[in-house]
Amino acid sequence: MNQSDILKKKKAQELGKMAWALKNQCQYDHALEYMNQSREIFREIDDRQGEANQIGNIGWVYLEKKEFDKALEHMYESLKMQEKIGIPKEIVIDLNAIGLTLRQKGELDRALEYHEKALSISKANNFKKEIAHELEGIGLVYGEKKNLNKTFKYLESALEINREIEDRQGEANVLANMGLYYLKFGIILEAEKCLKESRHIIDTNNLIYGRDVTQQLLDVINNIKQMQEESSE
């Protein structure tokens, strides 16, 4: 890579970082603008990995916008490129993203297919964090299928691995999802227990994600308990 291409790559990387920060601030149109600029520069310098990553990131923005077809279009394109490049962890990231998107779109059987592919590759490469992530993804799909036993079988397996590798954010996320589905299944006490544990992990480890959602679910539970108390008077 010549000096000019090195400078272009640096610019593409900076644009990508700015775009991701904008996505996290829900400034989706600006995020897409920067991601597309980054993608074009990576393509110009023939950096297929960088290009594929930006295409995948564009897919994530469309997912957050709930534009599922556009999200999948970009995720499939990224996956095809990643499979040609051949880095297993990058392939797993795209398979997981597709599974998550299909779950949100309501295509649950296809979502399972992609999470199971990602799980298989993760196990073959001993990617512990990704194994936990895919087990969680499969559990969430079964949650949407209203299969209580399989939901918590997979979520508890994910929780165990996150604890084993001391991934506190992963542990908090799984506990929050367990709380969510206990709540959906009407098992209020277990829901509250999981959500309080998740919130405790978030607070004691000063974690970035999950505090607001966990508190919102705890507020729902408090409202339910209050209504139950009032109806019993």
* pLDDT the model gives residue 195: 97
* pLDDT the model gives residue 170: 97
Instruction: Give the domain range for residue 47.
Output: 9-86
Residue 47 included in any domain:
yes
Residue 103, number of CB atoms within 10 A of its CB: 22
At 57, which CATH number?
Answer: 1.25.40.10
**Number of structural domains, the chain?**
1
Residues near 62 by beta carbon (within 8 Å), at least 6 away in sequence = 68, 70, 71, 74
Is the CB of residue 228 less than 8 Å from the CB of residue 212? no
Residue 36 included in any domain:
yes
* pLDDT the model gives residue 226: 86
Is the CB of residue 135 less than 8 Å from the CB of residue 119? yes
Which residue stretches of the chain are H helix? 3-24, 28-44, 48-64, 68-85, 88-105, 108-124, 128-144, 148-164, 168-184, 188-204, 211-232
Over the chain (233 residues), what is each successive 10-residue block's mean pLDDT?
A: 88 96 95 97 96 97 97 98 97 98 98 98 98 98 97 98 98 98 95 97 93 94 86 69
* pLDDT the model gives residue 162: 98
For tokens 């880095």, the residue is: 87
Residue 158, number of CB atoms within 10 A of its CB: 26
C-alpha–C-alpha distance, residues 76 and 204, integer Å: 38
Residue 53 included in any domain:
yes
